[in-house]
Amino acid sequence: MPGPPVADLPRRGHRSGLAQDRDDDRARRAHDHGERDRPVPLLEPLTDPASARGFGAGFGRPASRGASFEGVRLAKRGARHDNAPPVAVSIHPLAHVDPGAKLGVDVVVGPFAVIEGDCEIGDGCRVEAHAVIAAGSRIGRRNVVHSFAVIGGAPQDRRYAGEPTTLVVGDDNLFREHVTAHRGTGHGGGVTRIGSAGLFMVGVHVAHDVVVGDRVTLANGTLLAGHVVLGDHVVTGGHVAVAPFVRVGARAFLAGGSMVERDVPPFVIAEGNRARVRALNRVGLERTGVPLESRVALKRAFRALFVGELPRAEALARLESVSDPFVRELVAFLRALPRR
């Protein structure tokens, strides 16, 4: 028996009359309740931040395995509102964020990233795909952690017995791919500290109990062994290795490929296998804003200490009368060496 004419069949993609009637009834009910044109914000503030756990803001669905953030509640999925507040936390559905982690505002977590419990991540940080933030990390604001970096991992020390230790990071640091920064050890003070505004290029390693100053630039493959201390504005070339307990003064430059096993005074260039002081870091001093009069005073002090024929102790004694603060910093660093 022949079927109905083609024109009488419902077209694909067209809604049936029954479905259209249901939509009309729903619209009339919304109008009767005064809800027809009421905007619904994507995010609404909460008085109880604890009730926000388990959602990934900005994706409209639960985040993977218990993402946690504060002060934000997801509203109806798919709702739109031009005056909605900024996204508090954006967690990719394929990321893993432990419920015990504390994330600030505007934190972005990429796919397959892992943030363990007992972590604190400040406002505006970005954790990219496959990066790991381990337990015990205390990270400041606006830091960026690139793929496959591990921040806050357990120290590589045979004496470490699993005691709780921390890694403390300042603000505005950039950690590129495959950077590793480990927590401290109980016998070393328990804390690894990294300052602010640092650039850590690919493959940099910061070992346990290290102290890194502000605005450092560590080139690819730089390795800092345990208990190393780096001053502010230190710059390294590629593949520099610094032995345990070495101190590197502020504004020093470590040339690429150097093996540093002795303390490096501030304001100098050190280079070589078992690096030695080679020159005053004049370019670094100028770039970091050291005044001209201080640069001239440092040049004279460098000649007296490293080029002249006077014994080191006598040269230091003569420099004690110099009032320039940078020269005094250099003298204080060198005087502290015999006590270590």
Predicted local confidence at residue 88, as pLDDT: 79
Q: Which residue in the list 106, 209, 232, 263 is annotated as catalytic?
A: 209
Angle at alpha carbon of residue 264, lines to 259 and 269, rounded to 5°:
80
At 65-81, the pLDDT tens digits run 334 333 333 333 333 34
By CB neighbour count within 10 A (0-12 exposed, 13-18 middle, 19+ buried), where does 115 fall? buried
CA 204 – CA 228 distance, rounded (Å): 14
Our answer to whether residue 226 is catalytic in this structure is yes
Predicted local confidence at residue 212, as pLDDT: 99
Average confidence score pLDDT of the chain: 83
The predicted model gives 123-152 an average pLDDT of 98
Question: What number does CATH give the domain 43-212?
Answer: 2.160.10.10
- Rounded percentage of the chain residues whose pLDDT exceeds 70: 74
At 169-185, the pLDDT tens digits run 999 999 999 999 999 99
181 sits in which H/E element: strand 180-182
Predicted local confidence at residue 337, as pLDDT: 87
Check: CB of residue 241 under 8 Å from CB of residue 257: no
Our answer to whether residue 122 is catalytic in this structure is no
User: What confidence category does residue 130 fall into, taking pLDDT thresholds of 50, 70 and 90?
Assistant: very high
The predicted model gives 15-21 an average pLDDT of 56
Say yes or no to pLDDT of 256 above 60: yes
Our answer to whether residue 146 is catalytic in this structure is no
Predicted local confidence at residue 22, as pLDDT: 61
Domain boundaries, the chain: 43-212, 298-339
Q: Which residue in the list 96, 182, 205, 208 is annotated as catalytic?
A: 208
CA 91 – CA 325 distance, rounded (Å): 48
